[in-house]
Each structure stands twice: as structure tokens, then as C-alpha cells.
Amino acid sequence: MEGDGMRNSVRAVLFAVTAFTALAFAGSAFASFAPRLVVTSATPQAAGGGGPTRIGVVASNADDPTAKVSIYLPSGYQVGTPAAGTKLGDVTATAAAADLGGAVLPLTGELDAIAPTATTTAAAQACGVSPSQTWDLHLTAAGQTLDIPLFVVAPLAPETASGYVDKLVVCLPPPDVPVGTPGRSVFGAKLLSATFTASAVTQPTAAGDYRWTSLFTPYTPNTGKANAAGSVEVQSLRHLPVKVGVTVTRKRVVTHKTVKVKRKRVKRTIVSTAVRFTTSVTENGNPAGNARVTVTSRGKKLGAKGFTLTGLTSATLAVTALVDSDSGSVPTGTPSAPTDLFFHDLGSGGCVPTVLFQGLPCIDATLGGETAKTSVRVVAYRK
């Protein structure tokens, strides 16, 4: 029986992939659909610290609307089974509202675990999935409430064999069909970006390189029909752990100063501490290629040459590294903000096309931005 189940799973996946591939080469819509996937830590994590995950997607307003997104979690990540009613994290998004003159709306809300309902069950069937869990992107914008089901789907045998532990699937309503069309998105809203924190998706505790992947399918514009020919693969890499280190050296410096004390010239000895430091940033033990490091003490930014302690017993150096945050961001609203999900873009050259998808184009890969912090206390020479 197990062998039959395996064969059925393989046939199901191969049938779906073959259908996608045949349609993909029957026509081309790739140029008008170029989304990105970004995955990072929800909070700075120490080595082996695990912790929640933050996930983001972004597309251009010039792209065709997104119909379906399937995000595959690599082995090493864990997906919990939170009880219905549990808040899993915060959600931010932006969408262009056709009914409001194309205005870009910020959406805010939360990600919740929910019990399946008749509505979400019908949505799952329409999306072509049989979820093991149902989560809800509960959003508000311009006085309207939007609930978008996010389905947790157990992988089929071929997906497991390819190194994936679960997938997150969402189907979006069409924004560009005529007003009054059943199922049209509220305000004719076209998703441009979304980020969410998921406490139920925890990071690996083992150091390593982890590659997330995803399949995005657009709508054929103005039809409300998914365009399988435009489906693309996009990826996001994680090199864990991300760590910043600091090495400090001290040198005792003695100077002399002559002062007047009761009309007499007195020679005094002054002891100070010359502090020099070097920093390092690593990802999975290798030097980070894209990092900006800031060192502060008592709220003052320190230069690269170090500083001098005079008369203080100690000082604390606070080191902050912004890693892989140089290419752009997944907006959390308008205008951009420090809370945006930043990334380093690797382009198509950073892709490793997934064999499971049998020739669908992999058009982009990112490294999710990370903030790594550390601190060290420096004791001054007193004499």
C-alpha cells in the first residue's frame, strides 16, 4: 500500500509539473512577471538559537497580478501546529487599489491560526490544495477588513525527497476584472508586497546553508484566469547563523600635566586607555559579503580607529551589523521605513533551479537582510 501511495504521489506531482511546463513553453509572459521572495529571522538569532521566521514577497506594479504563491520550506525548518485562535505574528502589506485611482494602500494586521470553515474549505479547493492547517492573513485597509487564507500543505513524497518539509500556499482574487464580478478583490486591490512573521515557523538550530524556493503564478490580465505559462520560480537563501564579532585591544597611555596648586606648580600623572577594535561578520562561518557595521559607546558613534578612555572605569561597545540589506526592501507601507524587510539581490545567477519543477524558469534569488548585534565591556586602566 505504501508503494502505491508513493507512486500516486509521484504521478500527481509529475502531472502538475508537466502541465505547467507544457504551458510555459506554449507562450511567454515572463517579462511582465518578476516577483521576489525574501526570508529572514524575525529577530536577531544567536548560533543554534532557532526562533521565528519572517517571510516577504514583493512584485512591481507593472507586473501582472499574482494568482497563486506556493512557498516551500527547506529541511531544517520546523512548522508547529498552533491551536486555532493563536496569533502567529504581525502582517504588513501594500496594494495598488484600482477603484481608488491606483492609490497604493498600506495594509496592517496579523497572522492567526484558525479552524477551517466552509469558506476556507471552498477556498482551498479552488486553490487546488488539501491543507493540514489553515492560517489567516487578517488585514485592514481604508476601513475595510480583508481575510486571506494561508494554507499549510504537507509535501508529497517527491517534494519531501527534494528536501522540503512543508509548503505555504495562498491564492489571491483577481483585481483587474470588471467591478461586480464575483470574487473580485476589494477595491480592485493588486498585491505589491507582503511580509509576515510566523512564530509557528522556526529556524534551524544547526548551522548551514538553507535554500527556500517558491512558485508564483500570475493572472492573465483582465480575465481573472491564472496564466500557467507565466509561472516562475524564485528563491531565498539563508546562511545560518549570522554573527557579528568584535576584538578589542587596550594600551595604557601615561601623560604628564603641570598644574598650579596653591600657587605652586605641581606635575601630575594622567593614565588613560587607548582602545582599538576590529569587527567581523560571518554567515555560516564564512565572511559576510554585504555588511555595514556600526560601533557605538554611550550613544556616540565611534570611528574605525578607536577611541581613548580617560577617567572612566569602563565603557561598553555596542556593535550592530546590517547584513545583506543593500539591494532594496519589501515595503511595509508607504513611504519606506526601517521596519521594511531588506535583502541582497542575487538575480537569476543566484538560482539553483529545482529539478522537481522540470524546467520552469528560476528568475531570482535573494539573501534576506539580517541585523546582528553584540557588545563588549572595556575596562579602563586606572593607574
Per residue in 102-125, pLDDT (tens digit) is: 999 999 999 999 999 999 999 999
**Which amino acid belongs to residue 212?**
W
Considering only CA atoms, which of 87, 360, 323, 372 is closest in space to residue 234? Answer: 360
267 & 315 share domain: yes
Q: Is residue 109 a contact partner of residue 136, using CB atoms and an 8 Å limit?
A: no
98 & 213 share domain: yes
Q: Rounded distance, CA 288 to CA 242, Å? A: 8
- Cβ-based burial of 372 (10 A; exposed 0-12, middle 13-18, buried ≥19): buried
Residue 13 has pLDDT above 60, yes or no: no
Query: Is the C-alpha dihedral spanning 144, 335, 327, 247 positive or negative?
Result: negative
Query: Which range, of 68-72, 97-101, 270-274, averages the lowest pLDDT?
Result: 270-274
Q: Residue 332 — very low, low, confident or very high, per pLDDT cuts 50/70/90?
A: confident
116 & 231 share domain: yes
298 & 361 share domain: no
| More confident of the two residues 18 and 275 | 275
Domain count, the chain: 2
Q: Residue 368 — very low, low, confident or very high, per pLDDT cuts 50/70/90?
A: very high
All cell numbers assigned to 242: 549570522
Q: What is the pLDDT of residue 10?
A: 36
Residue 47 has pLDDT above 60, yes or no: no
Q: Rounded distance, CA 284 to CA 241, Å? A: 5
Q: Rounded distance, CA 19 to CA 24, Å? A: 8
Peptide linkage before 44 cis (omega within 30 of 0): no
146 & 29 share domain: yes
229 & 249 share domain: no
Long-range CB pairs of 130-137 (<8 Å, 24+ gap) are 131/169, 132/166, 133/79, 133/81, 135/88, 135/111, 135/198, 135/200, 136/111, 136/112, 137/91, 137/93, 137/109, 137/111, 137/170, 137/194, 137/196
Query: Which range, of 60-64, 108-112, 264-268, averages the lowest pLDDT?
Result: 264-268
141 & 179 share domain: yes
Coil, helix or strand at residue 175 = coil
pTM, full prediction = 0.86
Average pLDDT over residues 15-27: 37
All cell numbers assigned to 324: 545583506
Could you tell me whether strands 264-283 and 300-301 are parallel, antiparallel, or unpaired per DSSP bridges?
Answer: unpaired
Residue located via cell numbers 569602563: 314
Q: What is the pLDDT of residue 16?
A: 41
Average pLDDT over residues 244-253: 94
Mean pLDDT over the full length of the chain = 88
Q: Is residue 319 a contact partner of residue 290, using CB atoms and an 8 Å limit?
A: no
Element at 8 (helix H, strand E): helix 2-26
Q: Rounded distance, CA 352 to CA 166, Å? A: 19
315 & 346 share domain: no
Residue located via cell numbers 496592517: 108
Residue 31 has pLDDT above 80, yes or no: no
Contacts of 95 (CB under 8 A, 6+ apart): 104, 105, 107, 141, 175, 187, 189, 190, 191, 192
Q: Is residue 159 a contact partner of residue 13, using CB atoms and an 8 Å limit?
A: yes
Q: Residue 44 — very low, low, confident or very high, per pLDDT cuts 50/70/90?
A: low
Q: Rounded distance, CA 367 to CA 237, Å? A: 5
112 & 169 share domain: yes
Per residue in 187-237, pLDDT (tens digit) is: 999 999 999 999 999 999 899 999 999 999 999 999 999 999 899 999 999
Reported in sequence order, the residue ranges of 14-118 that DSSP labels E, i.e. its strands, are 36-41, 52-58, 66-74, 78-79, 87-97, 103-114
Contacts of 43 (CB under 8 A, 6+ apart): 51, 52
141 & 177 share domain: yes
214 & 127 share domain: yes
φ and ψ of 26, to 5 deg? -80, -25
Q: What is the pLDDT of residue 21?
A: 36
Q: What is the pLDDT of residue 259?
A: 77
Contacts of 151 (CB under 8 A, 6+ apart): 124, 127, 129, 131, 133, 134, 135, 168, 169, 170
All cell numbers assigned to 318: 555596542
Q: What is the pLDDT of residue 49?
A: 65
Average pLDDT over residues 304-328: 89
Other residues' Cβ atoms within 10 Å of the Cβ of residue 117: 12
| Residue 17 domain boundaries | 2-241+325-369
261 & 329 share domain: no
